[in-house]
Structure 1
Amino acid sequence: MTSRDPFFEPLPTAETEPGGERALGNVPWVPPLNVVPVLLPLAIDVATTDAVVLRLGHAQVYDRGVQLHLEGWLHPDASSRVDGPYGLRSEPRVGLLLGDGTKVGARADDAMAPELGSVAGTSLSRTEGGSSDLRLTQTWWVRPVPTEPFELVLSWADVDVPETFVALDGAAMEVASHGARELWPLADLEGDFGWFA
């Protein structure tokens, strides 16, 4: 191996901004910040029509929950049905049907604020997402890790996708959760956080 000159030029010195100490820790509505998850491939086509393809690509399994990754592709002829000034004006509704019949994320107000979808100790929240004219991605945080079979429920009325049920193996996710690796201790924060705290 030969020695090399430095590749990157030095960055300018950043100015420090005044401010108090920030509370760093995990909050329940997103995956933990200090845990490396186990990747569980799924590759399940949830809905395939002439207008749209929706696919559950994979799950990232943590020690305390599972993040599901949903992707979508829209046909150009269908994009006008859901196109808005800043991306898609509507997106799929997502919920869970637990083995005992409990519905999580089924309420009408969950469609606008799915982080409120919490029933019988199981919560569902949208953690990330984005869309363009013909593509969308969403990630959904399920807490705690399921231990029994459950179903992901999806519908998207604007592109004629009816309620569709996809069976998922909670037991396999529970087994995978034991392989999640905590990197270092981090406190679990309680209370109100974010812009509205």
Structure 2
Amino acid sequence: MDFFTAPPAHDREPEEERVLPPWLGPSDTVLGRTVDISRTLFHSEALAIVLTSAVAFPEGVKLHVRIVARPVEGVNKDTWWERRDLMFERSHSRFRPGKALEDEILRFGVRFSDGGKATTVDGRPRYDGEWPPPPPDGPVLQQHSGGGGSGSDRLISLRWSLWLWPLPPAEPFEVAVEWPAFDVPLTFTEIDGAAIAAAAEHARPYWP
């Protein structure tokens, strides 16, 4: 007789499947269409922030950002590693509504021609137990899944993935970045919304 045996199976009611609403992320059953953007959002001797590409979906667009830093003359090794730790640990720091943003928090945003905007520090859309939750009043921009990075004594590289809902109109819009702790002032870069909108038309489901 075996000493260790598996517990008996329990009869469980099947859980209700919850489909992620589009303002929280793209559908995992749809293959988005990639758009090569390669726009520099900020550049200095020590730091570069580049919007490398976008993946367009019918409901929105995922924006891929690469952040790369290097030591420059006058920065000693201790300062360099302190900066590395700040980039990895504090750039994603949580913030409290109604409180001033810490300088270490990396901020991204978008601004449209009609004056509408969304930022990564607006906070996630909230709901009170209702499912599906009601859609937000305005556009949403938030850090999405994926990303990561690496660091050494000569280079730091971070990857961010942002989800913008809804799909921006087929006209130019601006991407904003600001990072006070790393001397990045509020900077706007124009993006071709028409290319993203056209790519979204070619997104397709994995199964019909």
TM-score of the superposed pair, with normalisation by structure 2: 0.68
AA paired with 1:81? R
Instruction: Give the superposition deviation at 1:130.
Output: 2.9
Determine which of 90, 94, 97 is the counterpart of 2:111.
Answer: 97
| Distance in 2 between residues matched to 1:22 and 1:94, nearest whole Å | 35
Q: Say if 2:48 is the partner of 1:31.
A: no
Q: Say if 2:171 is the partner of 1:172.
A: no
Instruction: Give the superposition deviation at 1:132.
Output: 4.1
| Distance in 2 between residues matched to 1:115 and 1:130, nearest whole Å | 21
Q: Give 5+ residue unaligned stretches, structure 2.
A: 1-8, 92-104, 127-134
AA paired with 1:178? E
SS of corresponding position for 2:144: strand
The residue that corresponds to 2:89 in the other structure is: 88
| Distance in 1 between residues matched to 2:27 and 2:142, nearest whole Å | 14
Instruction: Give the superposition deviation at 1:36.
Output: 0.5
AA paired with 1:121? G
Determine which of 144, 147, 158 is the counterpart of 1:127.
Answer: 144
AA paired with 1:144? P
The residue that corresponds to 1:3 in the other structure is: none
Does structure 2 conserve the Cα–Cα contact (< 8 Å) formed by 1:124 and 1:141? yes
5 Å matches for 1:37-48? 37-48=32-43
Closer, same or farther: CA 79–43 of 1 in aligned 2, 3 Å: farther
Q: Give 5+ residue unaligned stretches, structure 1.
A: 1-16, 186-197
SS of corresponding position for 1:135: strand
The residue that corresponds to 1:62 in the other structure is: 57
| Distance in 1 between residues matched to 2:88 and 2:114, nearest whole Å | 37
Superposition RMSD on alpha carbons, in Å?
Answer: 3.0
Count of matched residue positions in the alignment of Structure 1 and Structure 2: 165
AA paired with 1:123? V
Determine which of 175, 200, 203 is the counterpart of 1:152.
Answer: 175
| Distance in 2 between residues matched to 1:88 and 1:42, nearest whole Å | 28
Closer, same or farther: CA 56–131 of 1 in aligned 2, 3 Å: same
Instruction: Give the superposition deviation at 1:120.
Output: 5.0
| Distance in 1 between residues matched to 2:173 and 2:136, nearest whole Å | 14
The residue that corresponds to 1:6 in the other structure is: none
Closer, same or farther: CA 73–153 of 1 in aligned 2, 3 Å: same
Greater per-residue strand proportion:
1
The residue that corresponds to 2:47 in the other structure is: 52
Does structure 2 conserve the Cα–Cα contact (< 8 Å) formed by 1:116 and 1:125? no
| Distance in 2 between residues matched to 1:167 and 1:79, nearest whole Å | 33
Q: Percent identity?
A: 30
